[in-house]
Amino acid sequence: MNLSAVSFEQELLSYLPPEEPLIRTVIEAMRYSLTAGGKRIRPLLTLSFATLCGGTQEAAMPFACAVEMVHTYSLIHDDLPCMDNDDLRRGKPTNHKVYGEAAAVLAGDALLTLAFDTILSDRAVALNGCEKCVRAGQMLSACAGAEGMIGGQIIDMESEGRTVSAQHLAAMDRKKTGALIRAACLLGCISAGADEQQSKAAARYAECIGLAFQIVDDMLDVLADEVALGKPVGSDSKNNKSTYVTLLGMEECRQRSVALTEEAIKSLSAFPKGTEPLVQLARQLCDRQK
């Protein structure tokens, strides 16, 4: 599926508040990071699973926009000097380098709250009904909060300067990276009214591609070119972090990422047809160079 075919970018920006003079800086900072590019993996997953489960892209679109807002907020905050202290994101200066640290923090906060406003918007309710919007809000908040993405981030921060096990890394990444990917898949299921078997298959697919994604990320932090990757390489080493590469070696990482990708594809057997885009996506993420 091509996100441009469903006008995702226009939909995403349509939820931004108007640029009133007194709050222009924060709106500009929100827009800057929302339009900085990226793979749009999470909204793609939301729309793909909605379609796969018999729903529509139109109904799932507010949920897809919301999950991308949460993802973008997390990147703004990850890049801050108090976190990863990165200067580049997707080949462009990070938000705080352009707007300052305070504005970047506020832009991230605003995107997080806008995500839930979007899920509960009149448009989302008209397309999905109140019950589905409430379930979607609960799903996204759980996966983005202390037991999900935020929990993974604190584990990551407290692991710096320590040698931890591969099991520790996997537990961290299921929260830090995997939880929001899981939310993305299940938001599509919620919009479409998927049954329990379909939702479990979607959750398993998300778990596998999420972990494979992070393993490949660790490999790229060693192997990739900074210009191609669009952000600094070697940041894990700079921050003295244990990674899958340092713990397992490059070859074992390749094998694990491939095995997880095949497991993700296997989980799609719960669906009788229409899985090819998700099969291709899983393989593309495993083979990516940036």
Tens of pLDDT, residues 3-46? 544 489 999 999 999 989 999 999 999 999 999 988 899 999 99
Per the CB < 8 A criterion, the answer to whether 50 and 191 are in contact is yes
Q: Which residue has the tokens 């390489």?
A: 233
Domains and CATH numbers, the chain: 3-287 (1.10.600.10)
| CA distance linking residue 18 with residue 148, whole number of Å | 31
| CA distance linking residue 266 with residue 109, whole number of Å | 38
∠ CA 123-72-77 to the nearest 5 degrees?
135
For residue 89, give the 3-state DSSP assignment: strand
| CA distance linking residue 174 with residue 236, whole number of Å | 18
Q: What is the pLDDT of residue 5?
A: 43
CA 107 to chain CA mean position, Å: 17
What sign does the CA torsion over 167, 173, 175, 181 have? negative
Question: Mean pLDDT across the stretch 227-237?
Answer: 55
Least Cα distance to 118 among 94, 140, 91 occurs for 140
**Could you read off the pLDDT of 54-113 as tens digits, one per residue?**
999 999 999 999 999 999 999 999 999 999 899 999 889 999 999 999 999 999 999 999
Residue 186 amino acid letter: L
Q: What is the pLDDT of residue 112?
A: 98
Strand pairing category for 92-93 and 88-89: antiparallel
Question: Mean pLDDT across the stretch 162-182?
Answer: 93
* Structure token digits, residue 70: 């949460």
For residue 88, give the 3-state DSSP assignment: strand
* Structure token digits, residue 254: 């390749």
**Could you read off the pLDDT of 100-142 as tens digits, one per residue?**
999 999 999 999 999 999 999 999 999 999 999 999 999 999 9
Rg (CA), the chain: 18
The pLDDT of residue 151 is above 50: yes
Q: What is the pLDDT of residue 233?
A: 56
The mean of the pLDDT values for the chain is 92
* Structure token digits, residue 44: 């793609």
The pLDDT of residue 238 is above 70: no
* Structure token digits, residue 212: 């494979």
Bigger pLDDT: 267 vs 237:
267
CA 122 to chain CA mean position, Å: 25
